[in-house]
Amino acid sequence: MKQSAFIVSLFFIAMIAAYLIYEFVLGNPANFADYVTKGTKEVPASGNILGMTYVGGPLVSLLIGLSIMVFAIIIERTLTLKKAAGKQPVPKFFKKVVDQIRAGQITDAIASCDAQRGSVANVLKAALTRYAEVTSNKSTVDVEKQLVEVQRAVEESMMLETPLLEKNLIALSTIASIATMVGLLGTVIGMIRAFKALAQAGAPDAISLATGISEALINTAGGLFAAILGIVAYNFFVNKVDNFTFQIDEANYNVMQLLKSK
């Protein structure tokens, strides 16, 4: 529910920001050659990229909004995965915890997990905390049941950590797909406008023809930009999540082997 609320809020904020950028930055009268004399925004000033982008039409605003969403999700995922890594490098932290477990210092190992934080530390803490609970009274619980309880605690912790690592990745891939479709739609609309200018009797309307072609190419470029950025970011974060999952599984396996030996 919180994830959906974040995406919906981000969508509205991005669309409002995109509209303001489109109308007041790209659509600034200074970006157009004939605004002073004719009061129109159809012909950009010579070499003015902002004016050329504005000519792409209203769909440019939507593409800007989708690009803002991609950037926002990239920032959010970067901060979240950095937090999930913990305060120390995972190999260094894991070596410290393993040494403490071998020395029988379970309480100190749990304290190390509290200090480290992050996904790996949270899973190990769940395992060690449950191990300390079930071994506090050895007469009532046999060894096999103790290990089953510890493994169950690990699985429950994994079920909580994994969704946090994968949060908003589906939204990122969806935005990349939508941006491609929006860019294609803008391309089709621009080409329709260009062919309409060519279909007029007599000499074709040069301004309408140029506007149509510009609209088609600008929307194509905008859609490809948002889609490429989204796809690259999605693959990067999926790889990061896979690495986290591998580290958690490896840490869990090694800790369980140590606990079994005890």
**What integer pLDDT is reported at residue 193 of this predicted model?**
84
**Which pTM was predicted?**
0.87
Residue % of the chain over a pLDDT of 90: 44
- Which whole number is the average pLDDT over 65-84? 94
pLDDT score recorded for residue 201:
55
- Of the two residues 73 and 120, the one the predictor is more confident about is 73
pLDDT of residue 26: 93
Mean pLDDT of the chain: 87
**Residues 195-210: tens digit of each pLDDT:** 887 776 566 667 777 7
Residue 34: what pLDDT? 77
Residues listed for the chain: 262
pLDDT per residue as tens digits for the range 10-34: 999 999 999 999 999 999 988 888 7
Q: Model confidence at 219, in pLDDT bands (50, 70, 90)?
A: very high
Distance from C-alpha of 132 to C-alpha of 259, rounded to nearest angstrom: 11
Q: Which residue has the higher pLDDT, 18 or 2?
A: 18
Shortest CA distance to 255 belongs to which of 123, 115, 90, 112? 123
Quote the pLDDT of residue 211. Answer: 76
Given this model, what pLDDT does residue 174 score? 95
In DSSP notation, 96-154 reads HHHHHHHTT-HHHHHHHHHHH-HHHHHHHHHHHHHHHHHTS-TTTS-HHHHHHHHHHHH
CB 59 within 8 A of CB 217: no
Residue 37 has pLDDT above 80, yes or no: no
Region of poorest pLDDT, from 44-48, 57-61, 91-95, 172-176: 44-48
